[in-house]
Amino acid sequence: MLDRSSQSPTHIPTDALSEVLQDFRLSGVNYGRCELRHPWSIAFPQQQLLRFHFVSEGPCWVHTEAQGWQELRDGDLVLLPQGVEHRLASKPDVVGDSLKSCHVTKLGGNVCEVVQQGTGATSTLFCGSMALGANALNPLIALMPPIIRGCDVAGNDPIVGPLLAAMTAEASQPQIGSATVLSRMADVLVARLIRCWVNCSGASTSGWLAAIRDPHIGRALAAMHRDPGHDWTLETLAGVAGQSRSIFAERFSAILGEGAARYLARLRMQLARELLGQNMSVAEVASQLGYESEASFARAFKRITSVSPGVVRRTISGRTDMEFGL
């Protein structure tokens, strides 16, 4: 497929989804513990990061274009995998943007406390944004609905309920280090919610979900996502899958609608766009993705994306991270 110095692939477990989820917790994660007095309303613009909101104590409503207003109960959590535009409010009829009147305190690291004073009922929330990385979860995230409520999938995972209860206790009685504890629990909770959704999303016979569930193709797919710069060939991928080259190639194309070489090339260019946006040079990206030269990488990038890597780097390198997930 693409040339790279020889390197043995990492061990691939039998659970391909768990392998993909290993990269779930990445840098760029931001959290905010919020204490807001009614009436309040906060708008969240569209962003590339996954968002979640956990309600320790209400009142709290969430609005999305897809589902309108939904009331959230104490101990409830909503996950917005694609970071779609939405609004949280103490009541649906509250307008404006209360964030401008909030006092924001940095608690250290990537956690902030957001407080709005007042005399109304107190809402205690824990909100976060997570950077997931194109090479690991983007194909999965793209398939998910715009909003998922934790209570809707909690019955499919015996750990979700106790985790929500533990987060409620931690958020309602904050102590030294509570924000850090909450952030760690949130990582685990969101990962389990994603897994619950995958397990309950039906038995499609084609597409990315079907591929990651397939006992053979799933192992090869996870290997490519975990190490996209490795010198993968049909032979090595078929070996990971435990199949002959011909059977693997036929099965891969049947499930995903394209050959393994094409899929891997698109995956690498997806990751390349992300790395270029992090101010990494074209030469550094080429090396990290296994290309022998900057020129060969540039040709492959333009062939697949129709633009040069230099243009992409100049266009997206100026983007900034969202502040404390709000």
Mean pLDDT calculated for residue range 162-166: 85
**Does 202 score more than 90 pLDDT?**
no
Residues 251 and 187 in one domain: no
Residues 27 and 154 in one domain: yes
Query: Is the dihedral angle over the CA atoms 10, 12, 17, 22 positive or is it negative?
Result: negative
What pLDDT is stored for residue 19 in this prediction?
67
Reference 80, options 171, 154, 185, 190; nearest CA is 190
pLDDT digits over 36-50, tens only? 999 999 999 998 788
Q: Where residue 28 falls among pLDDT bands split at 50, 70, 90?
A: low
Q: Which of 199, 232, 258 is the last residue of a domain?
A: 199
More confidently predicted of 10 and 260: 260
Residues 189 and 244 in one domain: no
**Does 274 score more than 50 pLDDT?**
yes
Within a domain: residue 322? no
Within a domain: residue 190? yes
Mean pLDDT calculated for residue range 197-210: 74
Residues 160 and 51 in one domain: yes
What pLDDT is stored for residue 216 in this prediction?
92
Instruction: Show the domain range for 249.
Output: 206-316
**Are 179 and 224 contacting, i.e. CB atoms less than 8 angstroms apart?**
no
CB atoms within 10 A of CB 323: 12
**Does 4 score more than 70 pLDDT?**
no
Q: What percent of the chain has pLDDT over 90?
A: 36
Residues 195 and 214 in one domain: no
User: Which of 21-30, 175-184, 216-225 comes out lowest in average pLDDT?
Assistant: 21-30
Residues 125 and 180 in one domain: yes
Q: What is the helix (H) or strand (E) element at residue 262, kind and residue range?
A: helix 260-276
pLDDT digits over 82-103, tens only? 889 999 999 999 988 888 889 9
Mean pLDDT calculated for residue range 133-140: 61
Residues 30 and 104 in one domain: yes
Residues 210 and 244 in one domain: yes
What pLDDT is stored for residue 317 in this prediction?
52
Residues 146 and 169 in one domain: yes
**Half-sphere exposure of residue 62, counting CA atoms within 13 Å on the CB side?**
25
The CATH number given to whatever domain includes residue 61 is 2.60.120.10
Highest mean pLDDT among 84-93, 189-198, 285-294: 84-93
**Does 323 score more than 50 pLDDT?**
no
How many whole angstroms separate alpha carbon 240 and alpha carbon 248?
10
Q: Where residue 225 falls among pLDDT bands split at 50, 70, 90?
A: confident
Residues 6+ apart with CB under 8 A from 1: 231, 232, 233, 234, 260, 261, 264, 265
> Does the pTM exceed 0.75?
no
Q: Where residue 137 falls among pLDDT bands split at 50, 70, 90?
A: low
Residues 6+ apart with CB under 8 A from 77: 52, 53, 54, 55, 149, 150, 151, 164, 167, 189, 193
How many whole angstroms separate alpha carbon 26 and alpha carbon 69?
31
**Does 238 score more than 90 pLDDT?**
yes
What pLDDT is stored for residue 10 in this prediction?
43
Residues 45 and 170 in one domain: yes
**Does 278 score more than 90 pLDDT?**
no
